[in-house]
């Protein structure tokens, strides 16, 4: 009997595995098609310097609108695309599209592009980046690349060399989600970052956990001394803005400033921001 029910379990397990494999094959096929059929788009979310009252950059965030699956969040398909080796190709598309769309924005507004771990490890990464710049005519000083600690942890020296090459071209480098990975001080010392993005988990805890405020203060202080900009991610309330300011972090990004918006709305957003600075109609919440 036990043997029989064991076989039953085995069959259920095999059927389950087969289903998972089937779903993965379908997702992979759909992702390959998505690129060819133009189902991807970039949305852009501004980063604003509150103290200087100006837009620093817009971060490009990948969106997949599938005719059969609907809007698929990047957290669901990017890790999978990494796994099946599609990320270099999708990443190239992101780079080219972001550079092309940003080339039409007023200077000196930059565009920030997220690099996945596999993309960061490509031996010809620098070439892929310069190709996107050349193809689109975007100045290297208007491109910022966002990398996470996980992408660099295995080979800090190798990462330092690649980032150094990109910096030498005039490209800015941001460390994304700072504080969630292995965030060691040696990263800050040995890698040529121009910006640290403080992860939104710290911002979320600002009002309730004194440690969060202490960490934000310490990180922004350190960034200041190192000549690196600090940006707080995931800012959702005016109170968080005030607290971040008090802790010395004037650069913010989050739903309180703006949700990520389609490429076609960026120019309007920039114009509305500029007129709010002059105190004209449309005055935003960003003024003191
Ligand atoms: P990330 O680079 O840390 O991007 C920030 C994420 O937080 C975005 O989610 C953004 O929409 C969301 N966010 C912004 N402000 C707020 C806020 O005030 N509150 C909350 N709760 N969330 C906020 P999204 O677009 O779903 O992207 C998730 C992650 O997927 C990104 O995290 C990034 O790691 C990855 N990703 C997105 N686009 C790309 C891409 O083009 N290439 C690569 N390699 N990764 C990407
Ligand atoms: Mg990012
Ligand atoms: Mg981030
Ligand atoms: Mg994050």
From CA 88, how far away is CA 118, in angstroms rounded?
Answer: 7
In this model, does residue 7 exceed pLDDT 50?
yes
By the CB criterion, residues less than 5 angstroms from ion ligand 4 are 177
Burial of 176 (0-12, 13-18, 19+ CB in 10 A): buried
C-beta of 73 in contact with ligand 1 (< 6 A): yes
CA dist 232 → 13, 15, 47, 128, 223 (Å): 45, 46, 9, 29, 12
For the ranges 7-11, 17-21, 137-141, 238-242, the lowest mean pLDDT is seen at: 7-11
Residue 54: count other Cβ atoms within 10 Å of its Cβ: 14
Distance 254 CA to ligand 4 centre (A): 10
Is residue 181 within 8 A of residue 201, CB to CB? The reply is no
Is there a contact between 92 and 71 (Cβ–Cβ < 8 Å)? Answer: no
| pLDDT higher than 70, residue 284 | no
Question: What is residue 195's three-state secondary structure?
Answer: strand
Count CB-CB contacts under 10 A for residue 217.
15
178-191: pLDDT as tens digits: 988 877 788 888 89
Ligand 1 atom closest to residue 119's alpha carbon, by position in its atom list: 44
Peptide bond into 65 cis (omega under 30): no
pLDDT-derived band of residue 2, with 50, 70 and 90 as boundaries? low
pLDDT bracket for residue 198 (50, 70, 90): very high
**DSSP three-state, residue 109:** coil
Indicate the pTM of the whole model: 0.93
Banded model confidence at residue 279, pLDDT cuts 50, 70, 90? low
Q: Smallest Cα–Cα separation from 166: which of 253, 95, 230, 249?
A: 95
pLDDT digits (tens, 9 = 90+) for 148-167: 998 888 889 999 999 999 99
Mean pLDDT of the chain: 92
On whether ipTM exceeds 0.95, the answer is yes
Q: Is the CB of 61 under 6 A from ligand 1?
A: yes
| φ, ψ (nearest 5 deg) of residue 246 | -60, -30
Instruction: Please say if the pLDDT value at position 213 is more than 80.
Output: yes
74 CA: nearest ligand 1 atom: 30
81 Cβ closer than 6 Å to some ligand 1 atom: no
* DSSP label at residue 208: T
Phi/psi-derived region of residue 74, left when phi > 0, alpha when psi is between -120 and 50, beta in every other case: alpha
Q: Is residue 286's pLDDT more than 60?
A: no
Ligand 1 touching residue 181 (CB < 6 A) = no
* CA distances (Å), origin 185, targets 164, 210, 234: 18, 22, 23
pLDDT of res. 228: 95
How far does residue 203's CA lie from ligand 4's centre (Å)? Answer: 11
Angstrom CA distances, 256 to 36, 68, 141, 213, 287, stand at: 35, 32, 27, 19, 13
Cα of 9 vs centre of ligand 1, distance in Å, is 40
pLDDT at 281: 45
- Specify the DSSP class assigned to residue 265: G
What's residue 283's pLDDT? 42
């Amino acid at each position: 009997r036990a043997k029989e029910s064991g076989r039953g379990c085995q069959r259920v397990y095999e059927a389950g595995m087969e289903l998972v494999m089937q779903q993965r094959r379908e997702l992979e096929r759909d992702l390959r098609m998505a690129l060819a059929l133009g189902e991807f788009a970039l949305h852009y979310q501004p980063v604003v310097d509150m103290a200087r009252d100006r837009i620093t950059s817009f971060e490009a965030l990948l969106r997949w609108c599938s005719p059969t699956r609907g809007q698929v969040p990047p957290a669901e398909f990017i890790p999978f695309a990494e796994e099946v080796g599609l990320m270099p190709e999708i990443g190239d598309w992101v780079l080219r599209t972001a550079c092309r769309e940003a080339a039409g924005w007023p200077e000196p507004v930059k565009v920030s592009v997220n690099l996945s771990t596999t993309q960061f490890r490509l031996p010809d990464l620098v070439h892929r980046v310069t190709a996107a710049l050349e193809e689109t005519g975007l100045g290297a000083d208007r491109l910022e690349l966002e990398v996470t600690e996980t992408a660099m942890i295995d080979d800090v020296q190798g990462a330092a060399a690649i980032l150094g090459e990109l910096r030498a071209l005039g490209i800015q480098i941001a460390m994304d989600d700072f504080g969630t990975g292995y965030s060691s001080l040696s990263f800050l010392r040995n890698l040529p970052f121009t910006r640290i993005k403080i992860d939104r988990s710290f911002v979320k805890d600002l009002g309730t956990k004194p440690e969060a405020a202490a960490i934000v203060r310490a990180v922004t202080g350190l960034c200041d001394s190192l000549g690196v900009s600090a940006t707080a991610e995931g800012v959702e309330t005016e109170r968080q803005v005030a607290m971040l300011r008090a802790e010395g972090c004037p650069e913010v990004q989050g739903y309180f400033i703006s949700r990520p918006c389609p490429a076609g709305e960026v120019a309007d957003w920039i114009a509305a921001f500029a007129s709010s600075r002059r105190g004209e109609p449309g005055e935003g919440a960003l003024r003191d």
